[in-house]
Amino acid sequence: MKKLFGLVLVMVLAMSFAGCGAKEENVLKVGMEIGYPPFEYFDTDGTTPIGVDVELANALAEKMGVEVELVDTAWDGIFAGLEKGDYDCIISAVTISPDRLLDYSFSDPYIQNFQCIVTLNDAAVKPADPSQMAGLKVGYQEETTSDMYITDYALNNGFEIDPYEYAKVIDVFSDLENGRLDAVICDSTVASSYLGEGTVFEQSWIQSEEAEEFGVCIKQGNDELVEKINAALAELKADGTLDEILAKYF
């Protein structure tokens, strides 16, 4: 769908990225779940990764003077993979949250995000806030901030939902479209790729609290890599490259 900035998928065994615990001096290994549009997903050929985070990873590596290797990883194991050293960082729409900051380091943020509710256009119930999802079949991707948000909201406000957890957000929207769910709660940045003229989906609520922010997630103690990524990210912001990437998808 989109041309990348010369994405290089380096098929090498791990050695070591200078100062950052990677496996090859001139390779930045990036963990991501390729199945989370518009951030990372496969093009129509079914094999070429595209999306915001794919382009961001490639652009960061270019500024850093290294090549990039994408490591496609299921979301429920993505942080464990970082801990094990399977890759140097995670660029996969990772929210910078207080809980995660206890265990990981993060780059400066590169995009803001809100939680939102999506239904079908012709849904009988279109929740105007999370409290109106009580009793509905609500789908969301497991172990994401959407999962945390609706779980905490329901517990704190004493109402029950009928929760349906999914490994991939693509499957959540597929089941909503096919009538197996009443509503979806997800990132507004993700919902944007499913909304618009001619779609069967409608956004019925968006979070009004302070925005979430996405950043590059890095193993704690790897301060040199944090500094390098932040320096590259600052260049991408200053020269307009980041805005160009985001404008393609939002």
| Judgement on whether residues 198 and 221 belong to the same structural domain of the protein | no
pLDDT of residue 10: 36
pLDDT at 20: 43
202, 121: one domain: yes
What's the one-letter identity of residue 114? F
Q: Is residue 183 part of a domain?
A: yes
| Residues in Cβ contact with 99 at an 8 Å cutoff, skipping those fewer than 6 apart | none
The count of structural domains within the chain is 2
Could you tell me if 68 and 136 lie in one domain? Answer: no
Q: What is the DSSP letter of 137?
A: E
Predicted pLDDT at 112:
96
Shared domain for 91 and 74, answered yes or no, is yes
Position 173 in a domain: yes
In this structure, are 171 and 135 located in the same domain?
yes
Report the CATH number at residue 37.
3.40.190.10
Asked whether residue 15 is assigned to any structural domain, the reply reads no
Ranges of residues in the chain with a pLDDT under 70 are 1-24
pTM score of the predicted model: 0.82
Q: Do 71 and 108 fall into the same domain?
A: yes
Q: Give the pLDDT confidence score for residue 151 in this predicted structure.
A: 87
CA distances from 245 to 45, 50, 173, 180, 242 (A): 21, 11, 24, 34, 5
* Domain annotation covers residue 72: yes
In a domain, 17, yes or no: no
Residue 234 and residue 125 share a domain: no
Same domain, 122 and 183: yes
Instruction: Please report, for residues 15, 27, 147, the alpha-carbon distance to residue 219 in angstroms, rounded to integers and kept in the order given.
Output: 17, 17, 23
Q: Which domain holds residue 77?
A: 27-112+212-249
Residue 232 lies in a domain: yes
Is 14 inside a domain boundary? no
Shared-domain flag, residues 78 and 60: yes
199 and 170 share one domain: yes
CB contact at 8 A, 215 and 106 = yes
Rg (CA), the chain: 18
Q: Which residues contact 70 (CB under 8 A, 6 or more apart)?
A: 7, 9, 30, 32, 34, 49, 54, 57
Closest residue by Cα to residue 95 from 190, 23, 222, 171: 190
Domain-located, residue 5: no
Residue 67 and residue 129 share a domain: no
Task: Say if residue 36 is in the same domain as residue 160.
Answer: no
